[in-house]
Amino acid sequence: MLLMTHDPAVQASLIGAIGTVAAALIAAVIAAGVSWQISNRRRLIEKLNMALDDIAFLLYVEKELCGNGDSPHRLKLETREKARAAGLSFSGKLTPGRVRHMRLPY
């Protein structure tokens, strides 16, 4: 099949087709960028909520341990069980060693 590229009507159709494809590509790239930002925000909110839950758990444990005159090492497991019974939970994902190796985006 031979295209008559010297014909102005054919040239106009080719330019229109190329413009349509370019517009579709631009729209797809922008949509992908927006969806990435939304999903990234959701992940950050999940991590924030997990961190807040861990802080609440650890504050409860600290309050219980500081209130007792006994050795904190002996009561650690009992105090954690009391915190769990109070409805608090500890994910274990934000321990000092793991946080040290995390790389947070700026």
Specify if 57 maps to a domain. Answer: yes
Run of H or E residues at 47: helix 8-67
Specify if 51 maps to a domain. Answer: yes
Q: Are 64 and 79 in contact (CB under 8 A)?
A: yes
| Angstrom distance (rounded) from CA 105 to CA 37 | 13
Query: Angle 28-33-38 (CA atoms, 0-180°, nearest 5)?
Result: 125
State both tokens at 72: 């904190």
Specify if 63 maps to a domain. Answer: yes
Q: Does 59 have pLDDT greater than 70? A: yes
Q: Does 3 have pLDDT greater than 90? A: no
Specify if 93 maps to a domain. Answer: yes
Domain that holds residue 83: 15-99
| Angstrom distance (rounded) from CA 20 to CA 17 | 5
| The pLDDT value given to residue 16 | 94
Specify if 3 maps to a domain. Answer: no
Specify if 31 maps to a domain. Answer: yes
- What would the pLDDT profile of 19-57 be if each residue is shown by its tens digit? 999 999 999 999 998 888 888 888 888 888 888 888 888
Average pLDDT, the chain: 81
Count the neighbouring beta carbons within 10 Å of the beta carbon of residue 83.
Answer: 21
Specify if 36 maps to a domain. Answer: yes
Structural domains counted in the chain: 1
Q: Does 71 have pLDDT greater than 70? A: no
Specify if 56 maps to a domain. Answer: yes
